Structure 1
Amino acid sequence: MGKKPNIIIVLADDMGFSDIGCFGSEIRTPCLDAMAAQGIRYNHMYNNARCCPSRASLLTGLYPHQAGVGLMMENLGIKEYQGYLNDSCITLAEGVKSAGYQTGMIGKWHVGGGYQKTREALERAGKKGYPTPMQRGFDYFYGTLEGAGNYYNPVTLMENGEWINIRPEDNFYYTEKIGEKACEALERFSGDDVPFFLYVSFNAPHWPLHAREEDIAAYEGTYLVGWDEIRKRRYQKQLEMGIVKDIWDMSPRDTGSPDWDEIEDKDWEDIKMAVYAAQIEEMDREIGKIREKLTQLELEKDTFILFTSDNGACAEELPEDGWICNFASERTLNGEKVEIGNLSKRRPGKEDTYMSYGLPWANASNTPFRLFKHWIHEGGISAPCVVSWGDNIKNPGRVEETPIHFIDIMPTILELAEAEYPREWKGTPIHPVAGESFLSSVREKWERKRPIFWEHEGNCGVRLGRYKLVRCYPEDFALYDMELDRTELHDISGEHPEIKKELLKAYEEWAQETGVKSREKILEIIKNSEV
């Protein structure tokens, strides 16, 4: 292959399928749109419907249960559900280091177990117990260990094992800092004639709704047309771009979303979505700075970049003074109280607020699909995916429709790096990689051979070829033809009972082999434990 390429993976957090311009959005994402024009859009990229299970698969090439993150970060006393990466896997960083790569990570980790509520509690614990990126193959790390936080003052912020204190005068904003630190890492990497792997894991646009005021103002008023109109406009753009097919009817507005005409405080709903849009534009801007740095260092043509999101849009409402305070300080850097919850009298965006944008806007983010983060329907597991690689892309600007999954990223990256996937690591046998490399798709037609499986909180399913069997726990399984009905509106179980039986058997065998426990069993363990 000649000189080994540099590799960058960029991950968004809780961003819906239609939230970037090249997948139908009105949100301004010029960098990602340019990458798509010069590269490939994969419109069937699948994740695991939730933050840390998806990250576990992305980093290891395994299903999350195999890697130890079968639920979330709680340790349930079972290897498949210990809440952090176990010793039966290797990470992408460990894999490419064996092929001579420098490695770095910037941003959200979230596969390191259940951290306590505050930094002080971690310090009392001696900073021990759960793996950081430095312990799993990364030469450099700047970012957060937790799953969320305040963008102006995130908890568990660390650089190379040392906790970082943010001061009011720093004018800190996490998305901007991730871009800055990524560019600094590129500068360091470029000093050696050695290829690098950089994992850039944004927290954006995960709640809370925090963005710079000037970016919010640019979108204010845009969403007064309402979520139904935004969905229609996005769907039409997706049809024009070839992201979706006209035989896939857009799913109806979610039953949890009211008619826009019934909303009394439309200005508040508008500003929530305006902040969310600003968060995405700010992330795109930082990705643009990373690409500019590559160009400045004359590395752009030699660098493979993959962008995607860890799950579908998030419909969670944040209750007033709710459970979320364990992710962030209850005071701002200046000592003011942070008002937690979706309080309609407050304008979101600043450090002293802590809000989410709610189900109706998440429904728009996931256009044209059903459901959200947590669920295994397409709205929960479908992510936009853009790949660019200098002049190495054949027919740039195209849309690839073959299903790919986060488990496929490991074998793809290892093929790029000319690295072998080992049978054991540090004397311990590891699981064989679960995914398939899709690297050849950058130059030619590629078709996956293996089925794809999911399980999260009892929501589960399997996709094999054109068919997908999916369960919305605790309901029965439904069967859909993804070629004719990717928006999952017509259950064909009655028409094809033999296909449903075949896929259910495949799912049950996979669940047994992978160590998946029933939802009832997991709830029993949680009830009887102190997690």
Structure 2
Amino acid sequence: MKFRLLAALLFLASSAAALAADPPPNIIYIMSDDMGFSDIGCYGSEINTPNLDALAADGLRYTQFYNTARCCPTRASLISGLYPHQAGVGHMMNDRGYDGYRGDLNRNCVTIAEALKSAGYRAYMSGKWHVTKATQPKSEADKHNWPLQRGFDRFYGTIHGAGSFYDPNTLTRDNQYISPHADPEYGPDQWPGETYYYTDAISDHAVRFIKEHHEQTADAPFFMYVAYTAAHWPMHALEKDIQRYAGKYDAGYDAIRQARYEKLISLGLIDADATTLFPIDPAAKEREFWEWDKRNMEVYAAMIDNMDQGIGRIVQSLRETGQLDSTLLCFFQDNGGCAEQYGRRGKAAPRNSEPTMPPMADSDLQPRMEPQQTRDGYPVRTGRGVMAGPPDTYIAYGKAWATVSNTPFREYKHFTHEGGISTPLIVHWPDQVKRAGKLEQTPAHLIDLMATAVDVSGAEYPKTSHDGQPIKPMEGVSLAPTFSGKAIDREAIFWEHEGNRAVRNGDYKLVAKGAKGSWELYNIAQDRSEQTDLAEEHPEVVEKLAKQWEAYARRANVLPLNPKRGK
């Protein structure tokens, strides 16, 4: 209760001096998928991201911003301003029998889009939704947690979480499924490449929503949520983008990671005395199929490059409509780099010289996350040696490259060590953020982005939903004071996913792997790579933080810890 009262008081204090002007700002939140801390140029990468780099140069980069370690929980937490279990999405999109694990965004929360209605905002979304079980609705009522039913005025994207970039399943415009190859509103003459590519489509619809809003309702502010699926597996990219990275990774995993580490230090994003470049797991390094795994990283880089190009088009549309200076734009990620082995096992199937399956009609909907075939009848292939990129492949980039992505942190997506939960945050708002190019060291969490949006918009956060359901109070703290270099205060930040759990209080972080894992203690200011466990040295700190985590778990619907499906 102490933490919630403190957070509420801090929010009210920040609201009293909110940055919202008259008129209030547009707000755009852009999130990428399955990317590590060092995967964009201004956070240490060799990948070409000039548009994100430019936003960082004119705005702020946060060095200690956190997500929830997995896609669905992050999306639920971001959009609701609550910890994911409080919003009903403690795991993935299945009901595990407890309120924290229903797999559906509940009605005891409001979305940012719903909360900003009180301040006159219109709301748009382009990209990945992934906070509902209803991916095969039998009726309109089953769509109660689709974007238009949760406060958005327009939506283009996917309801499900992953799929082909050339033929995504559950592709939706507003409230209806569509085929990308039979879409009268976004056809081949509007595709930037020679084929439909989902990342381009997300970018182009975000641009469309900005321009249409300016033409039709320019007197109202807008909130837009852009949720890319780049760079989540499968490694799909357009050949024109892949070609930019031919030979880029010839030096191998260790050399690329070392270069990123040195660049992160030179940029001031990490402290050499507080980070360690520990060895990449030798078993994760590909030797027999090195040319294949090198190609996987080339495609991964091309996916990020294409996303950055699209972000550039979004920024340009704001500039052309005279809205860039008055728009709060934030870029961040849903979890750390992904070490999942999807599509990487087994022997590679060769590509047939001719299609072997009946072609799909343009109007056919793609029913599967992993398609069985391409539109023109080629089987979709997985396995070691299948060269990623084209639509007939479905491959992840693996643990070794994920370790490079997460430089210099431990672990990956799923885990609550720093590699699973650390993300860039770029904040750009020329009218109010005057600390161009600065680094912000304040620890923050994506739960703070609801509080920030409510603060700067002047919206009134509701206590009940439109049908009278009680709404949980926001868990986050507005980041608006940090825009001008002021401090925020909070007692602690908490995590849990699949039994992996953590609490950070000041410089100390208590973290464990799995429901039965022992607590580990790290001083993040001195050891952000989490290499020296201080649990035995400071048992009193372990006891204090463990009690804080247990209190959070009881109040935030976390318990029972990691329940199985149907239990």
Matches within 5 A, 1:89-108: 89-108=109-128
Alpha-carbon deviation of 1:211?
0.3
2:238 is matched with: 212
Cα distance in 2, alignment partners of residues 320 and 337 from structure 1? 16
Cα distance in 1, alignment partners of residues 345 and 252 from structure 2? 28
2:160 is matched with: 146
Cα distance in 2, alignment partners of residues 411 and 23 from structure 1? 25
Matches within 5 A, 1:339-378: 339=381, 341=382, 343-378=383-418
Pick from 269, 283, 304 the counterpart of residue 293 of structure 2.
Answer: 269
Cα distance in 2, alignment partners of residues 424 and 161 from structure 1? 25
Alpha-carbon deviation of 1:327?
1.2
Alpha-carbon deviation of 1:365?
0.1
After superposing the two structures, state which structure 1 stretch, 213-222 or 99-108, moved more.
Answer: 213-222
Q: Which amino acid aligns with 1:188?
A: E
| Contact kept? 1:423, 1:430, Cα under 8 Å | yes
**CA offsets 1:273-318 (integer angstroms, 9 cap, x no match):** 0000000000000000000011111111111100000000000011
| Contact kept? 2:284, 2:399, Cα under 8 Å | no
After superposing the two structures, state which structure 1 stretch, 484-493 or 162-171, moved more.
Answer: 162-171
In the alignment, structure 1 residue 495 sits paired with structure 2 residue 519: no
In the alignment, structure 1 residue 198 sits paired with structure 2 residue 244: no
Pick from 365, 388, 411 the counterpart of residue 428 of structure 2.
Answer: 388
Unpaired segments ≥5 residues, structure 1: 116-121
1:248 is matched with: 274
1:409 is matched with: 449
SS in 1 for 2:447: helix
After superposing the two structures, state which structure 1 stretch, 347-356 or 509-518, moved more.
Answer: 509-518
Matches within 5 A, 1:23-38: 23-38=43-58
1:310 is matched with: 334
Alpha-carbon deviation of 1:129?
5.2
In the alignment, structure 1 residue 81 sits paired with structure 2 residue 101: yes
Alpha-carbon deviation of 1:416?
1.1
Unpaired segments ≥5 residues, structure 2: 1-20, 189-194, 347-366
Task: Give the TM-score taking structure 2 as reference length.
Answer: 0.88
CA RMSD of aligned residues (A): 1.7
SS in 2 for 1:424: coil
Alpha-carbon deviation of 1:83?
0.4
Cα distance in 1, alignment partners of residues 271 and 390 from structure 2? 40
Alpha-carbon deviation of 1:329?
2.4
Alpha-carbon deviation of 1:515?
1.4
1:448 is matched with: 489
Q: Which amino acid aligns with 1:443?
A: S
SS in 2 for 1:278: helix
Pick from 490, 507, 518 the counterpart of residue 466 of structure 1.
Answer: 507
| Contact kept? 2:108, 2:469, Cα under 8 Å | yes
In the alignment, structure 1 residue 15 sits paired with structure 2 residue 35: yes
SS in 2 for 1:199: strand
| Contact kept? 1:49, 1:375, Cα under 8 Å | yes
Alpha-carbon deviation of 1:256?
5.9
**CA offsets 1:194-249 (integer angstroms, 9 cap, x no match):** 11111111010000000000111110211111111111000000000000011123
Q: 1:415 to 1:124 in 2, by over 3 A?
A: closer
| Contact kept? 2:289, 2:385, Cα under 8 Å | no
In the alignment, structure 1 residue 424 sits paired with structure 2 residue 464: yes
Q: Which amino acid aligns with 1:14?
A: D
SS in 1 for 2:230: coil
Q: Which amino acid aligns with 1:110?
A: H
1:119 is matched with: none
Q: 1:123 to 1:94 in 2, by over 3 A?
A: closer
SS in 1 for 2:119: coil
Alpha-carbon deviation of 1:81?
1.0
Alpha-carbon deviation of 1:166?
2.4
Q: Which amino acid aligns with 1:504?
A: A
Q: 1:257 to 1:448 in 2, by over 3 A?
A: farther
Cα distance in 1, alignment partners of residues 400 and 153 from structure 2? 41
After superposing the two structures, state which structure 1 stretch, 81-90 or 122-131, moved more.
Answer: 122-131
SS in 2 for 1:66: helix
| Contact kept? 1:301, 1:390, Cα under 8 Å | yes
**CA offsets 1:296-347 (integer angstroms, 9 cap, x no match):** 111111111000000000000114799xx941321111122111x3x23321
Pick from 177, 183, 186 the counterpart of residue 207 of structure 2.
Answer: 183
Alpha-carbon deviation of 1:73?
0.5
Q: 1:105 to 1:320 in 2, by over 3 A?
A: same
Q: 1:103 to 1:449 in 2, by over 3 A?
A: same
2:349 is matched with: none
Cα distance in 1, alignment partners of residues 122 and 282 from structure 2? 47
| Contact kept? 1:84, 1:130, Cα under 8 Å | no
Cα distance in 1, alignment partners of residues 497 and 95 from structure 2? 15
Seq. identity, %: 43
| Contact kept? 2:164, 2:234, Cα under 8 Å | yes
1:132 is matched with: 146
Q: Which amino acid aligns with 1:177?
A: A
Pick from 148, 158, 174 the counterpart of residue 160 of structure 1.
Answer: 174
